[in-house]
Structures are given as structure tokens and as C-alpha cells.
Structure 1
Amino acid sequence: MVGYNTQNLDVIQSSYICNSCSLLLREPVQLIDCGHRMCQSCVSEQSGNKITCADCGEQTTQEKLLIDRGFKNDMQSLSIICSFCSWTGILKTYQSHLDQNHSNPTCDSCDQKFNSVNDLDRHKLFSCEKTTVVCPLKQCGCEEMVLRLRLAEHYISDQHQIVLAKFVRQMNSILSTNIGNHSLISCYQRTDIDANELEKISRTMNILSDDIKILADELERLAIERDQIHNKLQSFIQESTILKKSIEEQKTCIDGITLNEERTEQDLSSLEQNLNTMNLNSYDGTFIWKITNVEEKIVAARSRTQTSIYSSPFYSSPTGYKMCLRLYLNGDGNAQNTHISLFFVLMRGEYDAILTFPFCFKVIFCLYDQTDQQKHIIDSFRPDIRSNSFQRPRSDMNIASGIPKFAPLTIFQQENNPYVRNDIMFIKVIIDFDNTPKPILPYVFNLSPGLTTQIQQTMIRQQIEKREQEQQVLNSSTMNIETDQSITMKGIQEFRQ
């Protein structure tokens, strides 16, 4: 055990403080030869028959130790402030307070728990590596406060070595002076050290003095090298500052170049996108939409991850209406899960200010049969000019309008689905400015898309004229037959009369 630790140790009379553990005396023992007192537990720490006083260095034999009960009784009325809390009282009741309120204290330096306050105090005094302690040479001028685990590093520091060298020189000088002339006998009497032991100490001190001188010279040399290194370091720091500034300037320049490159890349990307759009766009009122990854898009539509997809824009003419298609592969509204829904979307264009609104032209859709049978799915609708969908667009897109039940979903479940091949489908839209007759639409969509629009339109007109002529011939033949039948019936009637 060690002494009592309190918050008010610094105001308690020094005679009540153990000169070994520097705490309030616990079970005080008096050393008869020098009169100083120590804790009984601190005395027990020393082995052998002689006890050395931590205050004056005087040695006392075990037989000359006095358990000072009277002094202990005097201490019982000392005012105490608990080292753990704000409790105040007298020493007599301090231990009871500690046992009742601080039975398992924790070290505030390393967070280790202990079974008693005394164990904690002992831990702090002797073993806690995270406790801040004073240098053993404090009285000699080294007042550094360091963690106990850093003491070894502190002992080899310049500051400590200089104080140690000074202390050894002083001790050597004192010993040399005391040993000189005829003072050796009186020195023996004061210290109870025999001549051989004192001579050994003197030799040791001389050796230490030589070693310290060597160390001092080495320290001086190291100090010179340190100054040189410091000067070089300052030069390096200045160069580093200049270099850092230069790097920052270059970085700013590089950032500017990078920003310009990014802008250039964005401009190129935008230009490329515009060129691609121009290449894909149609400017004659017709558009073929190639839809890839159809199965993936159907799955996305069923899971409602992406219910619809948009085509790229197309135009009725280079300065005409801007339009696109919107496709629901799993249907929209009442057609959901039963049909695919195909819609027409009027978009805001650059030339809307000079175009006629509402948009009133018939829109024809065709889902291509990609086999030789060419059983295309064809349907059309006429715009409701009262609907907002066909007024002049005020935003990027108007509300889509078209055919909710364009084609049944069952066609995609067929084993040899003719409308989706290699996971691709084609949808064509025609803005019908000429009111193309419905019977001729299969012929229109059977024409090869590889032909130019002008050639296709010529062939369509020729086909319309041909069918009109055939219809006229058919109508004329029908009239002749009806006339002949009328004459025949009249002759029969006259014959009967």
C-alpha cells in the first residue's frame, strides 16, 4: 500500500507527507536516526536490514524504526478533499468514504480498473505508462514533464544529458573537495561509508566525468551539425515554397486547359450528336423506327421500370412540323397487358411560328412483318383538332395521342413471331398529306424502303391511277351488263304479251 491521495495535498503540512511516495502518510513510521517519517508500506518496499530515508539519505536499521501511533492520532483530524469527488471531511473517515463510494476506481490516464483506491494510487505512482511524471533530475534543473513510457527517450535528449553532465561534474567536484586534505575522516563520520567504498565511488565518478566530457563534446558536434542541417532545411523550405508556388501556377494553367478541353469535347459531342440526329432524322413526313433489344424493353415495360420509349424526332419537311413516336410495349391504360400502344407526339419546332395549327393531317402506322408474307399491321387515325395534343406546342412535347390498341401482345408470344426478328422490330409512320385511299395502304408499305421518297410517291400515284382505271372499267362493264339485262327482261315481257 501507499499513502492517501487527496486533492488538497499541496496545502497540507509537509511533515504529514511521506518522503517516499509523496502522499499523505498511511500508518506512519519514524526513522529514529534522522527523525523523518515514511508510510509503513513504503518502508516495507526496501529490502535488507537498513532503510534509506528518501528525504535525507540517512540509513536506519530495522531495529531503529518506530511505529508512530501518536503522530497517526494527530493526523486523524486533518481536513481532506477526496481525490475522486467533491467530498470533504477528516482523515479518520476518509477510508470509509473511499470504500463506500470508490470501490472500483478507474485510472484517468489509461482507463484501467482497480479493486481499491490504494491499488490505483500505487499504479499511478509506479507503473502507469500514460501518467505524466516529473524528471528525476528536477532538483538539478531538468523540469521536463513527460509520460512515463517516454522517460527512456527523455533520458537521451539534449536537455536531460546537459543537466546530467552538469550534475555529475558538481558531484565529482564535491567529492574531490571533501576527500582532499584531512576532511575525509569527517566525511566518513557523516556518511558511515568506509574508505574502500568511497574510493570506489570516486573512481566511478572520475570515469563518469570522462564519459560525460566525451558526451558533451559529441553533443557540441551534433549541435553544430544540427545547425548546419537547420540552415539547409531552411534553404530547402524556401526552394520548396517557390516550387510549390510554381506548381500551383502550372496547376491553374493546366486546370484552365483541362476546362477548355472539356468544353471542346462537349462541343464536339454536341456537334456529333447533332450530325447523328441529322443523319437519322427524316424530313419528308415519313419515318422508320428501328427498335433494338425488344425483349429487354418488354421486360422493363412489364416491371414498370420503363413503361414507354420515344423515337428520335422526324419532320414533315425541312421547315415543317417536328414529331416523334411513343411506344408502350406492354400497353397503356385500358390496353395494359393486352396490346401494344402506339402514339404520335407533336413537338416544339423551330418553324412553328409560320406553320398552321391545329395539326390536322391523317397519321398512318405500320408494324412490319419481316418475313416474305408481308402481313404488316397497319392502322391510322385522324387528329381531333379540338384536342390540346394537336395545338401549337408550348413545351418540348404535347400530350401523346394515337392508337392504344395498336396490336395484340399475343403476336409477340408466337413461336415464329414475324414482327420481331433478331430482337429487332420496325415501325413506320406516314403523315398522309394526300389522303391516300385505305385499300392501297398494303401496297404502300410493301414498297422497298430502299427506294427514294420521290420514286415511292410516283409508284403510289401510278398504282392509284391504275386502280381507278380498273374501277372505271369495272363500273362500265357492270353498267353494260345491267343495261343488257334490262333489255332482255323487256323483250321477254313483250313476248309474253
Structure 2
Amino acid sequence: MAHSQKGGYDYEFVETPPQYLECSICLLTLRDPHVSSCCGNHFCQPCISKVQEANKPCPLCNESEFTTLLHKGVLRTINCLTVYCKWKRLGCDWKGELRNLGEHLMPRDGGTSGCGLVMVDCSYKCGVMVERRELAQHERDECAKRPVEAQMSSLTNKLEKRLTIVEKKLESTLREQKDMKDKLSSLEVQNESLAEENKALKTKLEAIKHIHSHSIDTPPFYYTLYNFNYHKAANLVIFSPPFYSHPGGYKLRLQLYPNGTKHAKNKSVSLFVAIMLGEYDSDLSWPFNGRVSVEIFNTTHDVWDMTTDFNLGLTASSRCVIRPIDCVANDGTGTITWLSHDDISNHYVIPGYDFVRLRVSEVKLFKN
């Protein structure tokens, strides 16, 4: 909940503050509490300063001449009140003393600690603002000004360790072949098997490195769509960044029509999934046969819902699931009447911020 900068606090408190901590002018919890010399009542310093600057009498006892003084005891009491984070409705579970809220929202050290839902600038000065909890991923995988050094995931480390073990086994096997000629046949089979495993692991490792270096995500894939109402008013089609079904898999993207298409024009939001020309298409099975599950964040109930399964396979149009032949994506498949304009405005657009959040929760592949 946002607070007024000219009056008291209107944060969501864990327990309702006692009435004596309420400003008699703005009726909110006291901010910078001052006590009057005339009737001894408490006011927010911004509220009572306006009265004094206008040369008006005390709003409670009507005394024309009075002074005010910061009440440090009341200030300490207020600073010890327990509040929720202002982004509680979006999922932040932080709560603590009021004195610590500012540090939670915007740490003094400028680091990545604090509320993950606060919008922050990229440290590489690329001009993009992202949620603090997504800053590390943005700076590692998406920022146009990030360092050249590749950022590897835990899966890459595991594959490298496994590769080292296999290579040592291969060397050991070669030594044993020289000492055990009577077992040459079985050792040759083992050597070939280990060599194939070594080759496969190297291929997987290179695929993972390539995916990371090209900033391509895999499910769960999160996409925040900013300026939704602008795109809707301009009747623009919105394309999400591409993502892979899995490491070394199919390259996909979401296509969203904020103003609807075909018979849903000006009534509903239409959503489609399309297959793009990918790096690994030659190693994959065609036509594509699988299900893409998409969800949207419900701001009313603080949950991901409206799970929609997009089935692409033998029952879909052949232009949707065949191997792409150029840089233009295949025809998309989806639902024309995905969400009505009333539903998305009332439950899914972040109030006051004009953005919606989508998530591809799963891509499940079926056997052809």
C-alpha cells in the first residue's frame, strides 16, 4: 500500500496501532509526531506545519498561539510497530519494524538485498529497470552491456565433473589394454562405450554453454509485459523473448494480441504459441508433438492461475508443427478468446503500473 508523503503512514500494520498514535488531522498513523503546547494533542509534523504556516489556530482546541515539539517517546513507539512490505499483495512475505522498512525496500548499500519486487536499475547502466529479484538473471543473461565472460549454471559444473571422471576412466582403460592382452576384446568394447559417453557429454556441455551465452531460457519461463494498455490501444501484436522447451530443444515464443483477433476483436485477449527456427532443429524429431502450459499472475488473489495448455502435434495445423525453414516463426496455435478485457483489467493488470506477468510453467513432449 502506497503512503502519502504529506501526512501519516497508511501502511498495512500487522496489528492495528492504538488510537493515541493517530494524527488528529489526517487520521493516519503519526509520521514525525509533534505534540502541541496548547492542548497536548499529537499531530504529524507535515500536517501541523501546514496549519502553522497558514497562521490558523489549533484544529482541536482553537488556541491561536501555540508551538509544537517532536515527541521522541511516541516516535520510538511508532518506529517499533510491525508492518508488512508494501508489495505484500504481489507475494513479498517480509514483515518487521517500521524503522526497518526503508532498508528492506531500498538498502543503503545499493546491493541486491531487500524486497525482490522493487524495480531497480541495471548496474551496467543499460537503461533497463527490472524487479530486484530478477536483477541477477538480467545482468547475467540479458543485459546488452554485461561482461563478455560466460556465466555457467550448476548443471554445467556437474557435466564438467562427469566429463573429467569419464576421461580418467578412458585413460585407465587404455593402460589396462596394454597390460591385459587376454582381455583385449572386452576392453575395446568398454573403450568404445566410454568414448561415446565422452562425446555425448561434450555435446551436451557445449549445448548448455551455447544456451547460456545466447540468453535463452527454459521453463519455468517468466515474461513481464509492460505498457499492456498502450499495446492494446495501439492494436499491436506482442512477441515474448524466445525460450527453449529444454536444453538443446525446440525454440518457442508466445504471441499475444492485447486487443484480440478474428471474432474476439475488441472483446478478448488472444494468446498463441509458435515454433521458431532453432539451433538444434537438425537433432530433433519432427513434427513437434507436445504441450505448452501457460499461466498468468492473478493480482486479486496473489496466485498464478488461468493455466492454459496449448497442444501442438498431429492434430494441429501442419504449418504449426513442421520444422521451420527460415527466420520467420511457424503459424501460432492457441486460443482466440483467452481472457476477456474485463477479466484481465480487473484481476491481472497490476493496478497503477500497467503490466501483466506470464509464466510458461511446463513444456511436455510426447512420442511421435
TM-score with structure 1 length normalisation? 0.29
Greater relative contact order (Cα < 8 A, sep 6+) = 2
Pick the structure with more strand per residue: 2
Name the structure where helix makes up a greater proportion of residues. 1
Give the structure with higher Rg (CA).
1
